[in-house]
Copies of this chain bind each other. A is one copy, B any other.
Amino acid sequence: MDYLKDRVTIYEVAKASGVSLATVSRVINNQGNVTEATRKRVQDTIARLGYKPSGLAQALATSKSTTIGIVIPSANYVYISNFLNGITEIAKEKGYNLSLFVTSHSKEDARSVLEKVIKSHVDGAIVFDDELEEEDLSQLSNYAVPCIVVNNRIETEKIGCITFGYEHLLREIIRSHLEHEPDKMPIFLHVHNCGRLLERTERSFIRVCDEMKKEYRIINCDDSYTRSYQDFLEFFEEEKGGKFFIAYRDSIAAAVINAATDSGLNVPEDVEVMSLIGTKYASIIRPSITSMNIDMGEIGKRAMYMLIDLATGKLNNKRYKFESTYTKRDSTKE
């Protein structure tokens, strides 16, 4: 293949193979109506010249970018990687490209990111970001960008959603725990600004405790292992066992477990801990962490399928509820 200073265009291919643009276009798009002979001739020059169609020009001409925008927060969640992999898998299968839009924990930023999504002319968007509300997302609809929102219940003409089924299962878990371990004080670890899921589960927690007329506590903690670990070391200096912690994610649960252990308490005898969003580390850490789990890879896949259907008007159910699962491990007794 020859080296090229500038990209070779369809026009040069046409000239080099002695046909018109239209014919070349037909060849690269595998449309019929081209003699086998000319097809071959064109394909040869394409190979020889190393011609690659410009996705940009194609997108402009067809007004389809075959690109999906993905909006995710910059937070360092392990499961983002799973989510992206799920999306990628289907995107490849269906021939879509992916544009990444990362928001940085401020509503303002999140909105400016949406502007970019619109500018970028994507054929659809998958939004997994708690900062964005229905009002913001409706922007996308104004520009005819179909959208699947993850972890937020919004259903409109152009918006579908995947919600997480957490509350029901969580209530069962807490209820059962309160019954089996009535002497353990249930403590919900509140992390500031950790999103919708945490808020919902917190409310759920409170409701169950209230219903069962059970005393409970909410403790603020930092979303970093090191800080939380320190905090809980202090905590366990004063407080002793008889507690049941519900932590947002594995690393926080681990902070409690390690701090408790280092304070001479036993897990799960004295303190029990569970994590709301388990990762593979839940089973690696010792004692292994009882956790709820949600398969972000599957969610990514589902989001893509839904988006494609939505874009083609074939999406019947605008909402898909993804149930979480529960895995009891060694950090709780029952």
User: A residues near B, CB below 8 A?
Assistant: 1, 3-7, 50, 52-57, 59-60, 65, 67, 70, 74, 76-78, 80-82, 84-85, 88-89, 92, 97-102, 104, 115-116, 118-121, 142-144, 225-226, 251, 254-255, 258, 261, 280-281, 283-286
> How many of these chains are in the complex?
2
* Closest B residue, CB atoms, query A141: B3
Decide: A7 near B143, CB < 8 A? Known: A56-B60, A100-B99.
Answer: yes
* Closest B residue, CB atoms, query A76: B81
A37: shortest Cβ distance to chain B, in Å? Answer: 26
Q: List 5 A–B pairs whose Cβ atoms lie within 8 Å, in order of A's numbering.
A: A5-B144, A97-B116, A97-B120, A225-B283, A251-B281
Q: Is the CB of A85 within 8 A of B74?
A: yes
| A102 / chain B contacts, CB cutoff of 8 Å | 84-85, 88, 92, 98
* Closest B residue, CB atoms, query A86: B74
| A251 / chain B contacts, CB cutoff of 8 Å | 280-281, 284
A244 to B309: give the CA distance in the assembly, Å: 54
| A53 / chain B contacts, CB cutoff of 8 Å | 119
A192: shortest Cβ distance to chain B, in Å? Answer: 19
Q: Is the CB of B121 within 8 A of A54?
A: yes
Q: Is the CB of A76 within 8 A of B82?
A: yes
Q: Is the CB of B99 within 8 A of A225?
A: no
A93: shortest Cβ distance to chain B, in Å? Answer: 11
Nearest 5 CB-CB pairs, A to B? A88-B102, A98-B100, A55-B119, A254-B284, A100-B100
A115 to B65: give the CA distance in the assembly, Å: 16
